[in-house]
Structure 1
Amino acid sequence: MLNTRLSRFTGGLFAPHRKSDIGETADRLRRDGIDILAWADPFAPDRSLPKNFRKALHAEIEGGAPEHYTVPVGSLELRQALARKLESQNGIIADPSRNIVVTPGADSGLLMCMMALLNPGDEVLVPEPGFPAAFSNCEILGAVPVPLKMTAESGYQLDFDELERAVTPMTKMVFIAHPNNPTGTVFRKSVLQELARFVVKHDLLLLCDQAFEDHIFDGIEFVSPAALPGMADRTVTVFSFSKGYGLSGFRVAYIHACAEIMDVFYGNVTTVCGATSSLAQRLALAALEDEEVLTSYYRKLEYRRNLLFDTLSTVPGVRMQRSESGILSWIDVSDLGTSAEVVDHLLRTAKVLVNDGTAYGPHGAGHLRLVHGCILDDDRAAEVFQRIRTSLLQLPVRGLATATAS
């Protein structure tokens, strides 16, 4: 009866799900007093919309503009502002009427991109730990995701020996999240230049998810692959207002691509995504015009990632690197148990839900993804981080416990 490509992704109606983004899991856990650090939603669950954003929304509602559709590809005013942003911040030259489409969130945008670019049997190289939708979208569309291991020792940078070994005549695309979800690491310019050479050499496409691009720490240079020589026509980039601006609930994202690819997006956006909320688009425009919000959020998120690192990195059996971007931290707990065991332990004893690393590919096993950008108040976040530390300290370190016993 069901489409077999979709039916293996169940929604928790007949079997329990721990994933916070499945069914009603998050609502149920919050009712039970659980703090959720597993949802990549800045400052959730607290009210955090800046006052000037609230004023902009109120003015739009009073003006009566948002009660009707914009054109399905997004309002021209917003696309013009996005073209200015792409040039000034990403080094990408874009015609607002030929190279940009606005979508209701990056998830639907990514799916539309993959639907337009992939045929059944096409292979997609996916460095992992990596974004789960890169794998599941391929499977839904009948394409084949090919996981490629990245390691902590390399700083979760791409391994081009791995990429070369993985290429076959069926390889069509490379997918990257940049900065990476879940590790929070940023691909260096030299790595992206090598990736560009690889993509051109093998006549491939690059799909780049830049949802977390707005906050890059430690002075690391951030480079958009589409701005590199030879990549403008081979790269499709998905951007979002959810992570950097904290506007997850408004569901506004946008895609940049060359006109030949964009023409297909323009022809299918109504069918696949539908028009993005008119009110949300007006808020996105106000966000682009705000000169303070990204700066204030940067300071807050930089403090928060340092706070988490300082709280957990000294726990015996925990290995982690300081997050290089945004709201995500990646933690190796393999010396304390399987990642599923540690997630369950934290849920029981700390009343906190974090992500099991196995959701991010085979090499995510033994790791946790923790959204350090959740919760608005820093003091309350610190208290939650301390609960996690106390809980982890209860777990014996594998190997150390055996050696002590002998």
Structure 2
Amino acid sequence: MEDVISLSIGEPDFVTPWHIRQAGIQSLEDGKTWYSPNRGFIELREEICRWFAHHYRLEYEPKTECLVTVGGSEAIDGCMRCLIQPGDEVLIPQPSFVCYQPLTEMAGGVPVIIETKAKNSFRLTPEELKAAITPKTKLLVLPYPNNPTGAVMRREHLNAIADVLRSTDIMVLSDEIYSELTYGDTRHVSFAAIPDMKERTIVINGFSKAFAMTGWRLGYALGPAPIIKQMTKLHQYAIMSAPTMSQLAAVEAMKNGDNDSAYMREQYDMRRRLIVDGFNELGLTCFEPEGAFYIFPCIRSTGLTSDDFCEKLIQEEHVAVVPGSAFGDCGEGFVRVSYSYSIKHITEALSRIGHFVQNHHADTL
């Protein structure tokens, strides 16, 4: 099919900044092609911890509380496999990234889905959390900023979640891969920065979104030393180490990449406002996302299911988006639309979607 416009993939349309690519190229020119230490190069771990201290006022020990992984997904998998015993329950707010539920099941855990709601801007509420906790609850996944909804948990929302957890032994996996893509005047707050939460939280982050380094496959985990030690064992036996070239490029990103992240965030913010206004004008209402690079419009007014909407849209107008139901049952009636594309790309897609909606609204009359 020709002339398809895709708003489906969650990948930056920016090329990795040149100075970061140059550091990777230089590592090859210098013949640095050997394995790294299992945990990752100490220089990179020091830079990650320095960066976290600067941005989020969180202090981690590079030697024992930081693990460099092959993407954030490996860190999520390793965290779950090290924490979950057969029969343990894992609380997973949805809609959310598709990997949490299958990885829980692969680790022998029992996924307990918490359906977040549009009226709450798809944030996890303390009431929803309390209702889901049982004596078997072992782990809470906090996927914010959120894929696919763009929802963000601000400090006051995180404090309310922490109030529920303080009387429990529940651990927290805080997936903060979109932390640097948080919009507005208030920066991202890490859950580990909430009082009393650091000792129970494993923070997952990486380089793919903030520095447009998806293909370099590099992430990291920060958390209590005993847990990072066990994750390192699993990483050592299953992976050995993250790619050397990627790690040396990431050192440069941590040292000198903040301006690049800020520029990309500004560009995404401009596209965010354009696409939210565009969908609302089409009658496909969506709340204003505060993070990541997705919107999650409601398509119920068309009378179509999420799957049907997406299939018909690509067949009739050659525009690709993702069914909301792919991110959990409560995503039915919504679609995920990525705005990590050019203004020209988005504007043309909005025009085609407008034509599609007009036709299908007419069909429902």
TM range (shorter): over 0.9
Conserved 8 A contact 1:242-1:251? yes
Residue of structure 1 aligned with 2:265, choices 288, 291, 298: 298
Alignment of 1:201-216 (within 5 A): 201-216=167-182
Partner of residue 255, structure 2: 289
The CA deviation at 1:177 is 0.7
Partner of residue 16, structure 1: none
Partner of residue 308, structure 1: 275
Partner of residue 55, structure 1: 22
Partner of residue 348, structure 2: 383
Aligned-partner residue type, residue 278 of structure 1: T
Please identify, of 191-200 and 108-117, the stretch whose mean Cα deviation from structure 2 is larger.
191-200
The CA deviation at 1:175 is 0.6
1:286-305 residue CA offsets vs partner (Å, 9 max, x unmatched): 11122420121011101111
In the alignment, the residues of structure 1 paired with residue 126 and residue 244 of structure 2 have an alpha-carbon distance, to the nearest angstrom, of 43
Please identify, of 267-276 and 350-359, the stretch whose mean Cα deviation from structure 2 is larger.
267-276
Partner of residue 320, structure 2: 353
User: Given the superposition, is the C-alpha separation of residues 50 and 378 from structure 1 closer, same or farther in structure 2, using an over 3 Å criterion?
Assistant: farther
Aligned-partner residue type, residue 232 of structure 2: Y
Residue of structure 2 aligned with 1:181, choices 132, 147, 165: 147
Partner of residue 109, structure 1: 75
Residue of structure 1 aligned with 2:196, choices 218, 230, 233: 230
Conserved 8 A contact 1:335-1:397? no
Give the SS at the match of 2:59.
Answer: coil
Partner of residue 330, structure 1: 296
Alignment of 1:145-160 (within 5 A): 145-160=111-126
Give the SS at the match of 1:331.
Answer: coil
The CA deviation at 1:40 is 1.2
Bigger relative contact order (CA 8 A; separation at least 6): 2
Conserved 8 A contact 1:208-1:238? yes
In the alignment, the residues of structure 2 paired with residue 167 and residue 55 of structure 1 have an alpha-carbon distance, to the nearest angstrom, of 49
Give the SS at the match of 1:395.
Answer: helix
Conserved 8 A contact 2:177-2:205? yes
Partner of residue 159, structure 2: 193
In the alignment, the residues of structure 2 paired with residue 340 and residue 74 of structure 1 have an alpha-carbon distance, to the nearest angstrom, of 42
User: Given the superposition, is the C-alpha separation of residues 276 and 33 from structure 1 closer, same or farther in structure 2, using an over 3 Å criterion?
Assistant: farther
Partner of residue 212, structure 2: 246
In the alignment, the residues of structure 2 paired with residue 97 and residue 274 of structure 1 have an alpha-carbon distance, to the nearest angstrom, of 17
Is the aligned partner of 1:35 residue 2:1?
no
Give the SS at the match of 1:335.
Answer: helix
Give the SS at the match of 2:296.
Answer: strand
Give the SS at the match of 1:369.
Answer: strand
In the alignment, the residues of structure 2 paired with residue 270 and residue 351 of structure 1 have an alpha-carbon distance, to the nearest angstrom, of 45
Residue of structure 2 aligned with 1:256, choices 200, 222, 229: 222
User: Given the superposition, is the C-alpha separation of residues 50 and 385 from structure 1 closer, same or farther in structure 2, using an over 3 Å criterion?
Assistant: farther
1:241-268 residue CA offsets vs partner (Å, 9 max, x unmatched): 1112111010110000111111111222
The CA deviation at 1:221 is 4.1
1:98-138 residue CA offsets vs partner (Å, 9 max, x unmatched): 10000010111101110000011111111111222111111
Partner of residue 335, structure 2: 368
Conserved 8 A contact 1:199-1:206? no
Partner of residue 22, structure 1: none
The CA deviation at 1:33 is 4.7
Partner of residue 94, structure 1: 60
Give the SS at the match of 1:264.
Answer: helix
The CA deviation at 1:392 is 2.6
User: Given the superposition, is the C-alpha separation of residues 388 and 72 from structure 1 closer, same or farther in structure 2, using an over 3 Å criterion?
Assistant: farther
The CA deviation at 1:393 is 2.7
Stretches (4+) displaced over 4 A: none
Aligned-partner residue type, residue 351 of structure 2: Q
Conserved 8 A contact 1:346-1:392? no
In the alignment, the residues of structure 2 paired with residue 369 and residue 380 of structure 1 have an alpha-carbon distance, to the nearest angstrom, of 16
The CA deviation at 1:36 is 2.9
Residue of structure 1 aligned with 2:129, choices 137, 150, 163: 163
Partner of residue 123, structure 1: 89
Conserved 8 A contact 1:189-1:221? no
1:23-44 residue CA offsets vs partner (Å, 9 max, x unmatched): xxxxxxxx7553332221111x
In the alignment, the residues of structure 2 paired with residue 159 and residue 39 of structure 1 have an alpha-carbon distance, to the nearest angstrom, of 28
User: Given the superposition, is the C-alpha separation of residues 79 and 138 from structure 1 closer, same or farther in structure 2, using an over 3 Å criterion?
Assistant: same
In the alignment, the residues of structure 2 paired with residue 381 and residue 59 of structure 1 have an alpha-carbon distance, to the nearest angstrom, of 36
In the alignment, the residues of structure 2 paired with residue 397 and residue 324 of structure 1 have an alpha-carbon distance, to the nearest angstrom, of 33
Is the aligned partner of 1:276 residue 2:242?
yes
Conserved 8 A contact 2:275-2:346? no
Conserved 8 A contact 1:155-1:185? yes
Give the SS at the match of 2:221.
Answer: strand
Using the size of structure 2 for normalisation, the TM-score is 0.95
Unmatched segments (≥5 aa) in structure 1: 1-30
The CA deviation at 1:357 is 0.7
The CA deviation at 1:387 is 2.3
Conserved 8 A contact 1:311-1:386? no
In the alignment, the residues of structure 1 paired with residue 136 and residue 270 of structure 2 have an alpha-carbon distance, to the nearest angstrom, of 45
In the alignment, the residues of structure 1 paired with residue 358 and residue 148 of structure 2 have an alpha-carbon distance, to the nearest angstrom, of 24
The CA deviation at 1:160 is 2.0
Partner of residue 392, structure 1: 357
Aligned-partner residue type, residue 358 of structure 1: S
Give the SS at the match of 2:211.
Answer: coil
